[in-house]
Amino acid sequence: METTKTHNFHVPLSDKLNRELRAEAKRAGRPATELAREAIEHLVEDRKREALHREIATYAQAVAGTPQDLDSELEAAATSHLLDSEESPS
């Protein structure tokens, strides 16, 4: 089984943020460091998703109307499928 190497990272917090983090940790019954690590993980993942979205949007804008753009027949079929899906009860 592979073990994950961990690193310590010093993050200075304002008094207010430190109090709020400690209070939330107490309410959650979890260590403050665990909550901080989880928040950082969420931030990093959100930033990755946003970057990917920007890259896709930039590419789509750059190829719009070119031969690399979405095939019109495929687009029509996808639109029809989505509209049919919205009308059908789940």
In this predicted structure, what is the pLDDT of residue 90?
57
Q: What is the pLDDT of residues 59-84, one digit of tens each?
A: 999 998 888 887 778 888 999 999 99
Asked if residues 31 and 25 have their Cβ atoms less than 8 Å apart, the reply is yes
Q: Which band of pLDDT confidence, cut at 50, 70 and 90, is reported for residue 85?
A: confident
Rg, the chain, Cα only: 23
Q: What is the pLDDT of residue 21?
A: 98
Which pLDDT band holds residue 89 (cuts at 50, 70, 90)?
low
Give the rounded distance of the alpha carbon of 87 from its chain centre.
29
Alpha helices in 2-31 (DSSP H): 15-28
> What are the pLDDT digits (tens) for 22-64?
999 999 999 999 999 999 999 999 999 999 999 999 999 999 8
Q: Where are the domains of the chain?
A: 15-87
